[in-house]
Structure 1
Amino acid sequence: MSLVVGLDVGTQSVKLVAYDAATRRVVSTHGHPLELIAGDDGSREQKAQWWIDAIRACFAKLDANSRSRVTAIGVSGQQHGFVPLDAAGNVLAPAKLWCDTSTQAECDEIMDAAGGAARCVALAGNPILAGYTASKLPWTRKHRPEVYARLATILLPHDYVNFWLTGERWMEYGDASGTGWLDVRTRQWSPELLAATDADRKLIDCLPPLVEADASFPIAPAIADELGLPRSVRISAGGGDNMMAAIGTGNVEPGVLSMSLGTSGTLFAYADHPVVDDAAGWAAFCSSTGGWLPLICTMNCTIATESVAKAFGFGTRDGDAMMVGTSPGAGGLVMLPFLNGERTPDLPHARGSLHGMDLNNLTRGNIYRAAMEGATYALRNGYDALLAAGLRFDAIRLTGGGSHSAAWRQMVADVFELPVEVPLQAEGAAFGAALQALWAHERAHGRDADLAAMAREHVLIAPGLSVRPDGKNVAAYQASYRQFLRHLDGAKSFYASHPAGTA
């Protein structure tokens, strides 16, 4: 009769999933929206108290009987955010988030001090990118010196929620690898990158202990009482949202590729060894399961289809119908969907473009298809890099808003030439956090639980949504994808010589 709870602290909302492992059933799902503080300089911040208030609201929606049955909680959190605490555990300033781009200059300063981007990859597996936690420290030193002077502990968003739940401060390797300071090969902090961030301060003293993925801690009695939970509840190590989504989609052993078709697109895969690219073609993260999680992120996915639909006066729910009568290759149209700049490949100043227009193919159905194909080809380009690194996959687990489109599911299967499955649980990160909590709870009680076996048992596939590649479409997409790559090469050349996109 026990339940495990997964919490996902995202940018737009906090979500709670209560899961009954015995019946393999999600018994309750609740959410609460979050505000965002946005600045003209690219800053994006939230108050950590908002996360706590939202968690309280979610538990208040969970009925008392369900709360009394909770045995373990796992927390998923948006990656890279910076929560500064003083020695007493008080939050000193709003948390700068993953989507905060105001610290680009500080990224460059850290990498220059470390010896360049390539040297950063050699030291830790990743360059210091805008959004990563590292650059937020020198920004704070410059713009909030009183905060920096009182800084005692650096926490990530999910770490802070764990601290509130338990009174303990820790980090786990998956989320820690998104700071920019963790050497993903050795799972140790890089002294060189910490010194490059601040040569005058011993930042390692501000970092909490690193714990293993199956670690767990008792909930603080006062918090248990406040939330109406048993005092025996244990809090698992938790992790970043991508790491938890990997668990929630069953991506905890080799062979599975998870793909999220959201505003941005992501690809990530489990590896049993560090997978680092010298050219930084992907994020070389650790997983929150004891392995590694190479991850590729494109900045333009459903944002491309949504923009086209808005321009032509229809909604994306009608997108599949709009494509009726079109065929793979969009009649020769090719879109580079870089409406928001691009991270993979690294073209931050790029803009979107539409190629191959003629008097016959310029229809809204073809343009919408070209946007969907372009977003899919951009992810395929990242996938090719993972194949070149020696990774191999048997299937794709598809999540995100785009996974609701039957046409997009089939397109992914045809472009990647892999079967596509859609997990039954839509809240992948929260569900993954619940499964990690279940795993950690079992281990804490002396049972030799295997997470991969648990994922195979509990991650169910939605009936009727699985698709396989259609042979007659594969060749057409291959030809169109080659056209996409040729136009991409042109864009790389253009934006290298015209970084602002001007002639």
Structure 2
Amino acid sequence: MTLVAGIDAGTQSVKVVVYDPEARRIVAAASAPLELIAGEDGSREQHPQAWVDAIRVCFAGINPGIRRNVAALAVSGQQHGFVPLDNDGEVLATAKLWCDTSSSAECNEIMDAVGGAQRCIEIAGNPILAGYTASKLPWTRKHRPQVYEELATILLPHDYLNFYLTGERFTEFGDASGTGWLDVRTRQWSKEMLAAIDSDRDLSSCLPPLVELGATFAILPAIADALGLPHAIRVAVGGGDNMMAAIGTGCVVPGRLSMSLGTSGTLFAYSDTPVIDPAGSWAAFCSSTGGWLPLICTMNCTGATETIARTLGVKTSEGDPLIDSTPPGAGGLTLLPFFSGERTPDLPNARGSLHGMDTQNSTPASLYRAAMEGASFTLRYGYDAFLTAGMAFDRIVLTGGGANSKAWRQMIADVFDLPVEVPQETEGAAFGAALQALWSLRNAEGDTASLPELVDLHVSSDRGLACVPDPSRVPAYQQAYRRFLDHLAAVRSAHAA
């Protein structure tokens, strides 16, 4: 029995799945929670050691006999994080995460240094948005000068976990796209963007080498022993969580649209060529499969429903009855769910706001519905940019924790007026990492099947979770979405600074 494993290090937890490619089923899964270190200045941090500890907890919870048969694994990690290492490979400070908005001012400083956002897009394909890794370096130089002085290696969260597993420092094109200093057209580090961060220092010496899909690395024997894995196991390159979710949902060929309802909300589609918006309406990322992955990211998705649920004193698992008891549009109640600032629309300093309260709609059920609708409408706002650019899709493949909600699945179908499918394996990022590991292992053994061909064999939909738009509800959501856009336009100037 040859098994493969996928590790997904997210914001709220680390998950591990073990997949049997012959039986085509997950044979083991485990998760461990993570704590978020939050500051009033918008900082959101975690210590990399917490990720390592969580991985150990996860593997300890998997049957030893299963662990001994894992032949390859890959890591999926939350994008944009900044892990600073010294010359000895020691972590110098807590990692600033994708949802950290404390370095928003540094985004503008970097773009101003090269001539503005438009010039950034011309140079590397993307502006520097809130949360991107690039802004965290000048922030560190200002606020943690000793860390910046001792900085020898810059790693992303998934890179750091590969370093923990293998002792090797490397990255790959998909996750590297989210730094802000990768030229996504040429797939090379941009010297001009790096110079905009610090013109007095050659930051390229701190960057790990870029490795191609298919490369695999040996695990450190001591780490294999600690995790109960065989010494012969191979570690594939892995990638950012969105790139791995693209694999796990089958978004590896043109024309498919995947949506992840997680702490952040994302929409992404595969392309064989770079898909760059001159206005920067979406992230022009590379994929982790040899292509490109135009991506929309919102910073407030399940976090919005969780915040409101906590305020109401209920659990999100109890949310579906609240949705079912209220009509689309929440009786005129609109929530702009920008609790952590927002990337789409680009309002890093925004905060959540509630509009349209009256004596009839000021109920817990309407408020919870407004939160779910607000998160969905924010994603729809990003989706409109794809449509404006001429992209077309015939369905949405849904993943992430929010996909477990029947009410939310139906809401997405109605808001986007598209059929919704849910993969059999709901942990899209972890499963995608396992499939990348499987392909890398077989490729190294001489198998000539392409990654899309392998994905087509192993990714399937759960027909029982599929849903189609309800014609009686689509118009009501269209009206509510227009109201959302009106409120967004009204508050945009207040949140612009």
Q: Same fold (TM over 0.5)?
A: yes
| Conserved 8 A contact 2:338-2:350 | yes
User: How far apart are residue 475 of structure 1 and its match?
Assistant: 2.5
> What is the match of residue 133 of structure 1?
133
> What is the match of residue 426 of structure 1?
426
- Counterpart secondary structure, 1:471: coil
- Counterpart secondary structure, 1:131: coil
Cα distance in 2 for partners of 1:400, 1:60 equals 24
> What is the match of residue 146 of structure 1?
146
> What is the match of residue 273 of structure 1?
273
Letter of the aligned partner of 1:260 in structure 2?
Answer: S
Do the aligned partners of residues 22 and 299 (structure 1) sit closer, same or farther apart at CA in structure 2, a change above 3 Å counting?
Answer: same
Q: Deviations over 1:225-261 (max 9, x none)?
A: 4433222211101101111111112211122221122
- More divergent stretch after superposition (189-198 vs 277-286): 277-286
> What is the match of residue 116 of structure 2?
116
> What is the match of residue 30 of structure 1?
30
User: How far apart are residue 428 of structure 1 and its match?
Assistant: 1.6
| Conserved 8 A contact 1:254-1:393 | no
- 1:53-92 matches, within 5 Å, as 53-92=53-92
- Residue 52 of structure 1 pairs with residue 47 of structure 2: no
Do the aligned partners of residues 313 and 293 (structure 1) sit closer, same or farther apart at CA in structure 2, a change above 3 Å counting?
Answer: same
- Counterpart secondary structure, 1:279: coil
- Counterpart secondary structure, 2:402: helix
> What is the match of residue 390 of structure 2?
390
Do the aligned partners of residues 92 and 373 (structure 1) sit closer, same or farther apart at CA in structure 2, a change above 3 Å counting?
Answer: closer
- Residue 231 of structure 1 pairs with residue 218 of structure 2: no
Cα distance in 1 for partners of 2:358, 2:47 equals 51
Q: Deviations over 1:65-124 (max 9, x none)?
A: 112211101011111122222333333333222233332333222222121222112211
| Conserved 8 A contact 1:170-1:211 | yes
Do the aligned partners of residues 371 and 50 (structure 1) sit closer, same or farther apart at CA in structure 2, a change above 3 Å counting?
Answer: closer
- 1:246-257 matches, within 5 Å, as 246-257=246-257
Q: Deviations over 1:414-471 (max 9, x none)?
A: 2211110112222221111111100111111111122212222212322411001122
Cα distance in 2 for partners of 1:288, 1:59 equals 25
Do the aligned partners of residues 324 and 197 (structure 1) sit closer, same or farther apart at CA in structure 2, a change above 3 Å counting?
Answer: closer
- Residue 243 of structure 1 pairs with residue 249 of structure 2: no
- 1:71-470 matches, within 5 Å, as 71-324=71-324, 326-357=326-357, 360-470=360-470
TM-score using structure 1 length = 0.92
Q: Which runs of 5+ in 2 are unaligned?
A: none
Do the aligned partners of residues 74 and 494 (structure 1) sit closer, same or farther apart at CA in structure 2, a change above 3 Å counting?
Answer: same
TM-score using structure 2 length = 0.93
Cα distance in 2 for partners of 1:39, 1:405 equals 30
- Residue 10 of structure 1 pairs with residue 20 of structure 2: no
User: How far apart are residue 308 of structure 1 and its match?
Assistant: 4.1
Letter of the aligned partner of 1:401 in structure 2?
Answer: G
Letter of the aligned partner of 1:135 in structure 2?
Answer: S
User: How far apart are residue 183 of structure 1 and its match?
Assistant: 0.8
| Conserved 8 A contact 1:4-1:437 | yes
| Conserved 8 A contact 1:350-1:491 | no
Cα distance in 1 for partners of 2:450, 2:172 equals 19
Cα distance in 1 for partners of 2:362, 2:146 equals 57
- More divergent stretch after superposition (73-82 vs 217-226): 217-226
Do the aligned partners of residues 490 and 208 (structure 1) sit closer, same or farther apart at CA in structure 2, a change above 3 Å counting?
Answer: same
Do the aligned partners of residues 306 and 235 (structure 1) sit closer, same or farther apart at CA in structure 2, a change above 3 Å counting?
Answer: closer
| Conserved 8 A contact 1:252-1:270 | yes
| Conserved 8 A contact 2:308-2:368 | yes
Letter of the aligned partner of 2:69 in structure 1?
Answer: R
User: How far apart are residue 55 of structure 1 and its match?
Assistant: 2.1
Cα distance in 1 for partners of 2:223, 2:484 equals 53
- More divergent stretch after superposition (32-41 vs 236-245): 32-41
Q: Deviations over 1:32-63 (max 9, x none)?
A: 23344444443333332332232223222222
Letter of the aligned partner of 1:300 in structure 2?
Answer: N
- Aligned residue pairs total 497
Cα distance in 1 for partners of 2:254, 2:487 equals 33
Cα distance in 2 for partners of 1:40, 1:331 equals 33
- More divergent stretch after superposition (306-315 vs 475-484): 306-315
